Each structure stands twice: as C-alpha cells, then as structure tokens.
C-alpha cells in the first residue's frame, strides 16, 4: 500500500527538533569504516545466560557464537561444534568440537571445556537463566576428548534448533569474573565499551572465521567498527538516518511503507523471523467450546487485509500454526485443514448455533496494543460484525493482558472471548509451550490426543518428526483452536539508505553486519 506523497518525510523537521531536545549530538557524517545502528532502547545485559530480550540479543549475536547454525531451509549445520549426534532415545547429544578450538577475542580458544562451562552455567539453578528450560532439562555434561556430551532428562528433538538461535549464545569463560561481565566471544565483533543508555561500541575481530551458512563473508567483517546508538524518539532516529548520521534505524510501519517505495532507502523485514501471529479463543466458554463457533471466526476474517492494510504490505498472510521457514510449515497443507475468508460459511455455522441478524453473537475481543496489531483489531472487529458477531474491544498493555487472559482462559462460563497473540522461535517445539496444558496464559488444550502428539514429536527426527508436526497442525486447524493470521512479524524492522549493501536479518530477526559495506 503506497502512502500519500504529501506525508513523505513528515517526520523530518520534527526529528531535528527532537535530536536537539534529547541532547544527542551526532557527527556530521558517520565514519567511513563504522556502522552505526540507531535503536529505541539500550540492552539490558550482555550476559547471555541471564537475559532473553531481543534488544540485548541483537548485540550479543555480534560478540558470541553458537554451537550450531540453521540455514535458510531450516537445516542444522556446524558452528562452534563441527557436528553433533543424538542417541537413539533422544536423551543424549554429543557435540564434536572443532580440532584445536575456535579463537576467542582474548587469545584463548573455545573448546570442549568452554562448551561444557556454558552448558553447566546456564542450567545451574543459581544462574536463574530465563532460557534454561529451552535446553531440554540438562541433567549432566561430560568431556570425551574433543567431544562434549550433554545428557537430558527426557527426549528433546528441538535442542539443536534452539542452540542455533539467539537465545543460545555461547560465551568464552573469561566473560564472567564473579559478578562482573566483560564480554569475550568468538563472534565477528569484539566488545570495546558500553556507555549505558548511549552507545555500545564493537570493533572487528580480525581472526574471526565464519561458519554461518547465511553469511557470505568467510572471514572478519568488511567494516571496522559497529556502534549501537540509543535514540529513544522515532522521529529523531529517522532524522538521523536521513542525514547519514546513522546507517540503520528502526522505522514505524507508516515510515517503512513510505521508504519502501523510495529508491533512496531500503526496508528490511525478516522472512526467517520465526514470528507467527494468530487468533485464539477462551475455548472453554460457550459457544467457543463448539468447533463451529471457532471456525465461524476463521471464515469471517480476511488475513490478506490485515497484511496489506494494517501492516502496509510488509507482512504476508499465513495458514500454518508453525511460522514460515521452520520444519513442517507447509502453507498448502495447512490451507486444506484450516479456514479461509468465506463470510457465507461463517454465517451458516453461526446459524446452526442459533445466531443471526436478530440474535448476534456478542463477544469480547481481548487484545494488547502494538503498531499494526491495533489497526488489524479494528479491521477484525468490522469483519466479525459483517457476519453477525458483535465484538467489544478490550485493550490492555501486554503484561496486564497476560495476567487477565490467564484467568479468562480457565473460565467455563461468562462472555465469550476471542483474542490475538504472537509467538516466535527457532523450532516448531514452541507448540508445546503454547498448547500443552497449562499452556501460555493458560490457553493449553486438555486433550489426550494432542498431548500425546506434542510429547511424541520431541522424540522424533527427520521425516517422522515432520509428519507428527503435520498431525499436530491438522488437529489445531481442523478444530480451529488457532486461526493463523500473518508472518514474518511485527517488530524489528530495519531501514537504511540504499547505498548500504550486504545487511541481513536471519532467524528470529537476528541482524547480521558481517557482509555490510557502505558505498560513496
């Protein structure tokens, strides 16, 4: 969707004022050998075992490494570990480390001992890692020559994919000295300094060897420095991008739509984000305890309108509970099992339940506020009204929304509730997190068939696991517990001038600057 030209660069004059008002004075132009990234907030921490926020992971990705990597087809390949193997029962993983190890920024090497240190620290209760459960319940580790052996309490096929993502960075042990964190990694960029709420400065690690299959450059980054600059106000970030004071900035959806149609700029989404949005229900409250009511909502909504209008064409409609680019995300199969826009089918199902023009179904639409989503919710409300569903919108900030829905999803009577949600991850195993009782915000489904399938897929691999994931998605879609809406996502857009080349966002909106160059 192209925005009216009269709005073009509407933030420009305001942005200059905000820059001055904030007291942030940038150089006239960014240095030729430096990449500057403007962000709305600063990182929380650079201790990868104790943080899970994307704003922190964006920086840690540059400094640290991963045991394995995921390619564009969701295949797992070597990283810090040359390869890995899995025991027949799925409870033991053996990681073969690279001979001689991988160089750390401080001159030490990342080897089997360093890998074991990471597994042990992240799984120790004293660390209180928010990511510990995603490692699959580690009960023991040991070293056998160049191998690190990790023993789990139960089969967990999602571990390799998780280890390929930004929530599983591996530090060189020198990073942690008591309570002090001085980042030391194997990544393409070395830590230099951190001025809190102002900037994090990194410099190229000349001895870096790349193992990531989605990065072209086999060695050290092409640029010398990488700076993450905190500029809280959106207009100020856009103004800094306009003048060349920064090279990357996070735009609003409206700014992104305008810039996308301007040859002077490039807007980056993330096809491999793992982000998936959907509509769900308080499915214990009538009539949403009946599949016909849930499917009626699925037939009432046109997800293409959400993508093209609310999100300015920057996302795409999707049919699967599993995000595009991940194992078993087959849009054609999911389309057969789920619902697509068909208002007449929606009205017919509602009529079977006794609802119609003279007796509309009255529901609450419980949502959290966020750009793009807010517009989608208004559109959804209108589309539901067209088939005879009157939706009263209730909007809460996200934390309050989670608390509220955790109570509502356990209720068996009251006003019917339809709600929206999003999830992201490196592996379809997040379906367990969402739908196995109690599930996220108590949305889990109390069904022994689904529960069994969710457990079984963790003990399978390859085609067998893919087939089981198809069965799970078929269950969710035919029963309309989930109505998928759009992907790749809604956060972490990036924009640059078109003279910036080589930037990528890989899995889980991970920014990669190794290949970046800036033309004159």
Q: The domain spanning residue 215 has which CATH number?
A: 3.40.190.10
Tokens of residue 220, six digits:
């050290």
d(CA 436, CA 261): 43
Asked whether 80 and 97 are in contact (CB, 8 A), the reply is yes
**In this predicted structure, what is the pLDDT of residue 25?**
41
Asked whether 389 and 363 are in contact (CB, 8 A), the reply is yes
Residues 463 and 350 in one domain: yes
Region of residue 191 (left: phi > 0; alpha: psi -120 to 50; beta: else): beta
Residues 242 and 163 in one domain: no
**In this predicted structure, what is the pLDDT of residue 21?**
36
Asked whether 147 and 141 are in contact (CB, 8 A), the reply is no
- What are the backbone dihedrals phi and psi of residue 150, each rounded to the nearest 5 degrees, phi first? -115, 125
Q: Which domain holds residue 225?
A: 5-40+188-271+492-518
Residues 155 and 198 in one domain: no
Domain holding 428: CATH number?
Answer: 3.10.105.10
Asked whether 92 and 86 are in contact (CB, 8 A), the reply is yes
Residue partners of 243: CB distance under 8 A and separation at least 6: 26
Residues 304 and 388 in one domain: yes
Asked whether 338 and 26 are in contact (CB, 8 A), the reply is no
**In this predicted structure, what is the pLDDT of residue 274?**
85
d(CA 379, CA 464): 40
Give the number of domains in the chain. 3
Does residue 259 lie within any of the structural domains? yes
What's the mean per-residue pLDDT of the chain? Answer: 91
- Long-range pairs of 421-424 with CB within 8 A, sequence gap ≥ 24: 421/277, 421/278, 421/280, 422/275, 422/276, 422/277, 422/278, 422/489, 422/490, 423/275, 423/276, 423/278, 423/323, 424/273, 424/274, 424/275, 424/276, 424/323, 424/489, 424/508, 424/509
Residues 142 and 203 in one domain: no
**In this predicted structure, what is the pLDDT of residue 370?**
85
Residues 312 and 413 in one domain: yes
Among 179, 205, 232, give the residue marking a domain's end. 179
**In this predicted structure, what is the pLDDT of residue 15?**
36
Does residue 58 lie within any of the structural domains? no
| 0.95 exceeded by pTM | no
Q: Which residues of the chain have pLDDT under 70?
A: 1-31, 489-491
Does residue 287 lie within any of the structural domains? yes
Residues 354 and 287 in one domain: yes
Domain holding 113: CATH number?
Answer: 3.90.76.10
Residues 318 and 461 in one domain: yes
Q: How many CA atoms lie within 13 A of 146 on its CB side?
A: 14
Does residue 48 lie within any of the structural domains? no
Residues 260 and 326 in one domain: no
Torsion over CA: 51, 52, 54, 57 (sign): positive
Rg from Cα positions in the chain: 24
């Amino acid at each position: 969707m192209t925005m009216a030209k009269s709005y073009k660069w509407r933030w420009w004059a305001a942005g200059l004022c905000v820059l001055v008002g904030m007291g942030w004075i940038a150089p006239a132009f960014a240095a030729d050998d430096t990449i500057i990234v403007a962000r709305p907030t600063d990182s929380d921490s650079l201790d990868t075992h104790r943080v899970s926020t994307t704003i922190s992971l964006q920086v840690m990705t540059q400094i640290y490494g991963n045991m394995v990597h995921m390619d564009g087809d969701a295949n797992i390949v070597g990283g810090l570990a040359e390869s890995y193997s899995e025991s027949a029962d799925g409870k033991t993983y053996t990681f073969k480390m690279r001979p001689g190890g991988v160089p750390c920024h401080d001159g030490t090497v990342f080897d089997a001992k360093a890998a074991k240190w990471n597994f042990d620290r992240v799984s120790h209760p004293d660390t209180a890692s928010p990511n510990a459960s995603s490692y699959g319940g580690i009960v023991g580790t040991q070293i056998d020559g160049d191998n690190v052996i990790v023993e789990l309490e139960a089969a967990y096929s999602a571990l390799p994919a998780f280890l390929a993502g930004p929530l599983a960075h591996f530090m060189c042990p020198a990073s942690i000295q008591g309570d002090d964190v001085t980042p030391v990694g194997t990544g393409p960029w070395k830590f230099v300094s951190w001025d809190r709420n102002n900037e994090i400065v990194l410099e190229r690690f000349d001895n870096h060897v790349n193992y990531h299959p989605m990065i072209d450059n086999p060695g050290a980054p092409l640029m010398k420095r990488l700076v993450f600059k905190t500029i809280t106000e959106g207009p100020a970030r856009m103004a800094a991008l306009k003048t060349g004071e920064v090279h990357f900035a996070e735009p609003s959806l409206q700014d992104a739509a305008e810039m996308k149609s301007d040859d002077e700029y490039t807007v980056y989404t993330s096809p491999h984000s793992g982000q998936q949005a959907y509509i769900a229900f308080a499915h214990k409250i009538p009539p949403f305890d009946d599949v016909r009511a849930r499917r009626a909502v699925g037939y009432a909504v046109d997800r293409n309108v959400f993508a093209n209008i609310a999100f300015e064409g920057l996302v795409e409609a999707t049919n699967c509970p599993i995000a595009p680019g991940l194992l078993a995300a087959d849009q054609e199969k999911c389309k057969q099992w789920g619902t697509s826009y068909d208002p007449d089918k929606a009205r017919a199902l509602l009529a079977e339940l006794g609802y119609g023009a003279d007796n509309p179904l009255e529901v609450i639409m419980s949502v959290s506020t966020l750009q793009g989503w807010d517009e989608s919710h208004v559109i959804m409300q209108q589309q539901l009204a067209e088939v005879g569903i009157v939706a009263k919108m209730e909007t809460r900030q996200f934390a309050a929304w989670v608390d509220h829905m955790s109570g509502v999803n356990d209720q068996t009577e009251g006003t019917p509730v339809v709600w929206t949600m999003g999830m992201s991850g490196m592996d379809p195993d997040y379906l367990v997190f969402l739908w196995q009782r109690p599930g996220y915000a108590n949305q889990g489904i109390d069904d022994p068939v689904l529960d069994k399938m969710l457990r079984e897929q963790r003990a399978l691999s390859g085609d067998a696991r893919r087939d089981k994931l198809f069965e799970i998605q078929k269950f969710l879609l035919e029963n309309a517990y989930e109505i998928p809406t759009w992907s790749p996502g809604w956060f972490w857009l990036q924009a640059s001038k078109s003279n910036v080349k080589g930037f990528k966002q890989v899995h889980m909106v991970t920014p990669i600057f190794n290949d970046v160059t800036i033309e004159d």
